[in-house]
């Protein structure tokens, strides 16, 4: 079935002269790796085509690449591909609906089915792994380049936590081995992704010192606008601190709640075992079973999420 979708997507790429690639808002390395990696693959094989990557730039991830400026009229007869985005509200740049054909390529649970063609593989560690698989399957029809390999490698190590998370499979490692056969520095990419600004380092220290943990191993911290301003930080600067609570003994699942300028909270949710994406869905979000995002209107809703985490841990412990 997946190879049939590969063929269908490749046929659409061949047919269209303009291809515009989107991904989700507030992109992580996998969003950028899959988006820019696919752009590089297509541009290398079809230099005559107009291929664009759109969305907001993220300064801390500029080493992966920057976005293109695209006039709205260029969408009129374009093929639009959205990578690494489970649901439509999270797609960066709402012009994705303006193209002639829409393709979804993703690895999250397919709760929001969209696109004329939809390739969703929840067994993949990352969307970058899917794009790498796509290239490997097509071989000389869409060959890997050193730059595509670099970008896709970055996306994979980003979403697997450098192969720490359970989504890492033997297949993931085989794909990574193929990527590393190309001329780029895997260690340099790892170092770039492991390097934080001084303000993020200071914010990390604050998180480690102030996170609250209950008897069930449920942890949380609220990063208010006042706290962010203390470290001259923004919402985007909180991404590198999300995994930190997982390094603390006794913590099973956790939430980092980041206050937005509107007074609502962005909820970054993680787990070492209990399934939490159902909790996220009940609060305007979703994601993977052990890594999700949600939204909270106020402190009361944050308390509801923490209580639901408590219940999830209790049920998980019963099943162990």
pLDDT tens digits, 37-58: 999 999 999 999 999 999 999 8
Can you give the pLDDT at residue 221? 98
pLDDT over threshold 80, residue 270: yes
Confidence of residue 288 (pLDDT cuts 50, 70, 90): confident
Can you give the pLDDT at residue 203? 96
> Topology of 198-319 in CATH?
Diaminopimelate Epimerase; Chain A, domain 1 (3.10.310)
| Mean pLDDT, the chain, integer | 96
Place domain 2-193 in its CATH homologous superfamily.
Answer: inorganic pyrophosphatase (n-terminal core) (3.90.1640.10)
pLDDT in tens, 103-132: 999 999 998 999 999 999 999 999 999 999
What are the residue ranges of helices labelled H in the chain? 2-15, 29-45, 127-138, 146-159, 170-179, 186-193, 198-210, 225-230, 277-281, 299-319
pLDDT over threshold 90, residue 196: no
Cα four-point dihedral sign 11, 12, 13, 14? positive
The full set of domain ranges for the chain reads 2-193, 198-319
Can you give the pLDDT at residue 236? 86
Confidence of residue 195 (pLDDT cuts 50, 70, 90): confident
Q: In what order do the strands lie in the sheet containing 101-106? A: 50-53, 18-22, 79-83, 101-106, 117-120
Q: What is the pTM of this model?
A: 0.89
Query: What is the number of residues in the chain?
Result: 320
Q: What percent of the chain stands above pLDDT 70?
A: 100
Query: Do 196 and 206 meet the contact criterion of CB atoms below 8 Å apart?
Result: no
**What's the mean pLDDT in 55-78?**
94
User: What secondary structure does DSSP assign to 197-219, as a single string?
Assistant: -HHHHHHHHHHHHH-EE-TTSEE
pLDDT over threshold 80, residue 77: yes
**What's the mean pLDDT in 278-304?**
94
Can you give the pLDDT at residue 60? 86
Beta carbons within 8 Å of 307's beta carbon, 6+ residues apart: none
């Amino acid at each position: 079935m997946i190879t049939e979708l590969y063929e269908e997507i490749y046929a659409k790429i061949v047919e269209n002269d303009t291809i515009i690639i989107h991904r989700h808002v507030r992109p992580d390395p996998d969003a950028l790796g899959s988006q820019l990696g696919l752009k590089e693959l297509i541009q290398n094989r079809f230099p005559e085509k107009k291929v664009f990557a759109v969305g907001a730039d993220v300064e801390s991830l500029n080493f992966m690449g920057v976005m293109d400026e695209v006039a709205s009229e260029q969408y009129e007869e374009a093929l639009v591909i959205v990578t690494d985005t489970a649901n439509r509200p999270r797609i960066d740049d709402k012009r994705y609906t303006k193209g002639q054909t829409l393709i979804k390529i993703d690895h999250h649970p397919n709760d929001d089915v969209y696109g004329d063609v939809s390739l969703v593989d929840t067994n993949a560690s990352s969307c970058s792994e899917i794009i790498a698989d796509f290239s490997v399957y097509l071989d000389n029809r869409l060959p890997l380049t050193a730059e595509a390999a670099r970008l896709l490698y970055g996306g994979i190590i980003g979403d697997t936590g450098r192969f720490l998370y359970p989504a890492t499979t033997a297949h993931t490692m085989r794909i990574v081995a193929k990527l590393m056969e190309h001329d780029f520095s895997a260690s340099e990419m790892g170092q770039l992704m492991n390097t934080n600004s001084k303000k993020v380092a200071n914010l990390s220290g604050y998180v480690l010192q102030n996170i609250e943990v209950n008897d069930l191993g449920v942890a949380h911290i609220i990063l208010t606008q006042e706290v962010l301003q203390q470290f001259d930080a923004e919402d985007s600067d909180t991404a590198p601190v999300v995994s930190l609570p997982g390094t603390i003994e006794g913590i099973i699942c956790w939430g980092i709640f980041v206050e937005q300028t509107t007074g609502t909270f962005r909820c970054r949710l993680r787990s070492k075992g209990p399934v939490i994406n159902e909790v996220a869905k009940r609060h305007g979000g979703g994601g993977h079973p052990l890594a999700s995002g949600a939204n909270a209107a106020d402190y009361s809703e944050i308390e509801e999420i923490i209580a639901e985490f408590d219940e999830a841990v209790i049920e998980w412990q019963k099943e162990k």
